[in-house]
Amino acid sequence: MWLRLILIFVLGVLFQLSVINNLSLGPFFNPLVYSLIILKLPFKTQNWALLIWAFVLGLTMDIFQNSHGINAAATVFMAFSRPFVINLLTSQRDFGDEDTPSIRDRGTQWYIFYSLILLLVHHFIVFILEEWSASGLGIIFLRSLLSAGLAFGLLLLAEYLFFVNKN
Amino acid sequence: MLNLFRFIARYHFFFLFLLLETISLSLYFSYNYFPQAYYFRMATSFHGTVRSKVAAVTEYFSLKNANRQLAIENAILRSSGSDAFLKVDTNTFWYHDTLYLQQYKYTPARVIANSTGLRNNFIMIDKGAFSGIKPDMGVICPQGVVGIVVAVSEHFASVMPLLHSASTISVKMKKNNELASVIWEGGSPDRASLISLSSQVKINKGDTVITSGYSLIFPEGIMVGTIDAFEMNPDDIYYSATIKLSTPFSRLSYVYVVQNLFKDEQKALMEKQKQIVPHNK
């Protein structure tokens, strides 16, 4: 279990740094897929552990991108909002110890809403801290919407490739 | 007291969130004032070691282009060196020439990490304090300006390129020496904005913009770009213009770090001037 989570963490960061960040898709498409680990932590994860995971993840990205706390602030906020999103979307909450948010366990529609909301939160905070004053809120929002959409597409692909058919 | 602990334990999720978010945001805000912070230097060193290993592999893909660039540059340098000229006078040139003191020193470096898609981009090069690189030195490439060194570790340096919200480069128009500044407002990595160019002068599309040499960082006359589009409001005293940058930021592989050997002297003079003539702030 631990091994798998650390693998997702490392692969997410590596994929973001070595592939996604080297693609030039123009100013509006800047997908951030490294946050996959926050989406995939088991339901039974303690809330404080969730925040620590997110903080370490964000700090790692900040070190590699020279972005000084931007990613850490965004991932911590994303982890903070995760329990609320789960509460919002799920009616019965008797999760098993090994249950993780996935299409296999919770269904496609649930997973789409869950990941899309959290990705949007994450992207929005990263972009608003990056821009700070340079351009209007409308542009930042459009940028987060398009980038989060693309990140969501990529993560959905990963979900179908790696997480659905594993028995 | 016990009640306080109980309260914190009950809402530990929220308090831990506040704590971590405060740490992150204080990193974010403090960076704007202390770019050479300890964290940054450590991060540069760690990041640099990993990235130089990655770059050692990916460099091969751009080797052909880099070679061609270097060959062109070599050709230009050869043709401007003293060997390329026929000596027609009988004067001798001393090695320690008293008329020509060297002002700028160039150190070649390799780009080992680079980004262009973010709002605040960063470049890392494989030369650091060991090779004499210090913060606030300029970085150029054969095609034009790149940026300014902001932090150095023993063997690496972080460069803030023009493609950063905190970058401003002092420039002038090549044809009439009119001063202006170049900033980058996000978006495409090959376009930047030309600001505070007086609307009194005439400009055309395609005019060349070069560094002014007034900032003590870049030598005068380094290519920045050409004017791509401009407009002027009748009641505005400045143009608003877009320039096409000559530096291919997305394909950087070799750069030069420029050291101004008279920088300290020039700075000291400016300090002295401020003491004698206090400027009204």
Q: Decide if B197 is inside a domain.
A: yes
B242 touches chain A (CB under 8 A): no
Residue B109, strand partner residues: B255
What is the chain B residue with the closest CA to A128? B119
The pLDDT tens digits for B215-237 are 888 888 889 999 998 888 777 78
Q: Does residue B96 contact residue B225 with C-beta atoms inside 8 Å? A: no
B138 touches chain A (CB under 8 A): no
Answer yes or no: is pLDDT of A157 > 90: no
Interface test with A, best of B12, B19, B20, B148 (most A CBs within 10 A): B20
Answer yes or no: is pLDDT of A77 > 90: yes
Among the partner-chain residues B40, B47, B118, the one whose CB lies closest to the CB of A30 is B118
Answer yes or no: is pLDDT of B67 > 50: yes
Residue with tokens 């044809």: B175
Q: Does residue A8 contact residue A162 with C-beta atoms inside 8 Å? A: no
Count of the separate structural domains present in chain B = 2
| Model pLDDT, residue A57 | 93
Q: Decide if B221 is inside a domain.
A: yes
A96-110, B14-28, B130-144, B253-267, range with the lowest pLDDT: A96-110
Judged by CB atoms closer than 8 Å, whether chains meet at B46 and A63 is answered as yes
Q: What are phi and psi of B254, to 5 degrees?
A: -120, 135
Tell me if ipTM is over 0.95: no
What is the chain B residue with the closest CA to A30? B117
Q: Does residue B138 contact residue B148 with C-beta atoms inside 8 Å? A: yes
| Model pLDDT, residue B88 | 46
Which residues in A lie closer than 8 A to residue B118 (C-beta atoms)? 30, 65, 67, 130
What is the chain B residue with the closest CA to A132? B165
What mean pLDDT do residues A62-88 have? 88
Which residue range is the domain that position B27 belongs to?
Answer: 2-31
Answer yes or no: is pLDDT of B112 > 50: yes
Share of chain B above pLDDT 70, in %: 84
Which residues in A lie closer than 8 A to residue B31 (C-beta atoms)? 68-69
Q: Decide if B206 is inside a domain.
A: yes
A51 touches chain B (CB under 8 A): yes
Among the partner-chain residues B27, B31, B47, the one whose CB lies closest to the CB of A64 is B47
Which residues in A lie closer than 8 A to residue B22 (C-beta atoms)? none
Q: Does residue A24 contact residue A49 with C-beta atoms inside 8 Å? A: no
B46 touches chain A (CB under 8 A): yes
| CATH number of the domain that residue B175 is part of | 2.40.10.350
Residue B210, strand partner residues: B172, B223
| Model pLDDT, residue B89 | 44
Among the partner-chain residues A62, A80, A135, the one whose CB lies closest to the CB of B186 is A135
Among the partner-chain residues B20, B26, B122, the one whose CB lies closest to the CB of A76 is B20
Residue B113, strand partner residues: B124
Q: Decide if B92 is inside a domain.
A: no
Judged by CB atoms closer than 8 Å, whether chains meet at B47 and A83 is answered as no
Q: Decide if B46 is inside a domain.
A: no
Which one is predicted more confidently, B42 or A90? A90
What is the chain B residue with the closest CA to A25? B117
Judged by CB atoms closer than 8 Å, whether chains meet at B120 and A18 is answered as no
Structure tokens at B280: 């009204």
- Min CA distance, B85 vs chain A (Å)? 45
The pLDDT tens digits for B97-109 are 556 667 787 888 8
Query: Which residues 61-90 on chain B approach chain A with CB closer than 8 angstroms?
Result: none
Domain ranges of chain A: 2-163
In whole angstroms, what is the distance from residue B195 CA to residue B94 CA?
44
Among the partner-chain residues B27, B54, B187, the one whose CB lies closest to the CB of A69 is B27
Query: Which residues 83-122 on chain A approach chain B with CB closer than 8 angstroms?
Result: 83
Structure tokens at B1: 């007291």
Reported confidence tier of residue A75, pLDDT bands at 50, 70, 90: very high
The pLDDT tens digits for A11-59 are 889 888 888 887 777 778 888 899 888 988 888 888 888 999 999 999 9
Answer yes or no: is pLDDT of B1 > 80: no
| Model pLDDT, residue B92 | 42
Judged by CB atoms closer than 8 Å, whether chains meet at B24 and A134 is answered as no
Under 8 Å CB pairs connecting chains A and B tally to: 97
Which CATH architecture best describes the domain A2-163?
Orthogonal Bundle (1.10)
B24-33, B111-120, B176-185, range with the lowest pLDDT: B24-33
Q: Decide if B228 is inside a domain.
A: yes
The pLDDT tens digits for A88-124 are 888 776 777 777 888 877 888 888 889 999 999 999 9
Reported confidence tier of residue B90, pLDDT bands at 50, 70, 90: very low
Q: Decide if B280 is inside a domain.
A: no
Answer yes or no: is pLDDT of B35 > 50: no
Judged by CB atoms closer than 8 Å, whether chains meet at B17 and A51 is answered as yes
Interface test with A, best of B12, B15, B23, B28 (most A CBs within 10 A): B28
Q: Decide if B230 is inside a domain.
A: yes
